[in-house]
A = this chain, B = another copy of it.
Amino acid sequence: MPAPPGVAYINREFVPIENAKISVLDWGFLHSDATYDVVHVWKGRFFRLDAHIDRFLESAKRIHLSLPVGRTELERILAECTARSGHDDAYVEMILTRGVSSAFSRDPRDAVNQLICFAIPFGWILKPEQREEGLLVAISDIQRIPAESVDPRVKNYHWLDFVMGLYDAFERGAGSVILKDGSGNLTEGPGFNIFVVKDGRIATPDRGVLEGITRRTVLEIAGELDIRVEQRTVSAEDLLGADEAFATSTAGGVMPVTRVNGSSVADGKMGPITKQLIETYWAKHSDPSWSVGVSEVLSR
């Protein structure tokens, strides 16, 4: 299969993405024993690099993984992958796996943790023609893996619930899915958080979800714009009866959600608050307080 053009850092070397391969014995593969983060580069600038690195380091610590390089070196590696890839708009992933353990030992403490980074073209959850039209989602009966099992603050690759939810959604004519928790409240979709807007107020689920950086960005932007935001339980009824709905992800930013379970959200068009948030979100990409040039990171 043709890989997207890109550059990876693996085994302490920079290689074309198609040559970036891990051992099948790496527990990051065999037990999905890994954490990761994705930061994006827009017009040559990392967006909220610090926030992504903070979360990555925190995730690693929570699952007893040790980064083999320091923070500054990690930032340089991400910048170098991006610069070498030649992409001005890039999707930059950092992964820390448990690694391979000598003689296939089952003790995770025996493994040598492995850092992998790569930069590929900026990826959108929505195809270009869908960005105005919005995301068509289905709410699945499959439950998101609960916090009691896997800490959702640790960004992780345990996605079989999402993948099965996606197949469920495809069968129902939707393009993506939102999973519920054990109490029937909405959690999140594959790679995105969800927001509803009602009577000028925004709400987003407060538990059992990844604390997305784009989610946080929206909460902060809404504060600046004097839009009231609540982090609380959000039900399927809240979404079905919303004035507007949108999803947030590093892979696409703020994206309108216009259909749920085959029905339109309000009039089925992107709403004014969603539009305002999208504009503000992208405008922030050149703000030096939230972004840093790839070349600046390289010259540090």
A222 within 8 A of B: no
Contact A22 B20 (CB under 8 A): no
> Residues 104-135 of chain A: 1 if any B CB is under 8 Å from the residue's CB, otherwise 0?
10111101100010101101010000000000
Contact A149 B146 (CB under 8 A): yes
A21 within 8 A of B: yes
Q: Which chain A residues (139-195) contact chain B, with CB distance < 8 Å?
A: 142-146, 148-151, 154, 156-164, 166-167, 170, 182, 190-191
A276 within 8 A of B: no
A101 within 8 A of B: yes
Which residues from chain B contact A63 at a C-beta distance below 8 Å?
A: 160, 163-164
A39 within 8 A of B: no
9 shortest A-B CB distances, which residue pairs? A21-B21, A32-B32, A31-B159, A143-B148, A158-B158, A1-B100, A145-B149, A149-B161, A20-B24
A positions within 8 Å CB-CB of B:
1-4, 8, 10, 17-18, 20-25, 28-33, 63-64, 91, 95, 98-104, 106-109, 111-112, 116, 118, 120-121, 123, 125, 142-146, 148-151, 154, 156-164, 166-167, 170, 182, 190-191, 251
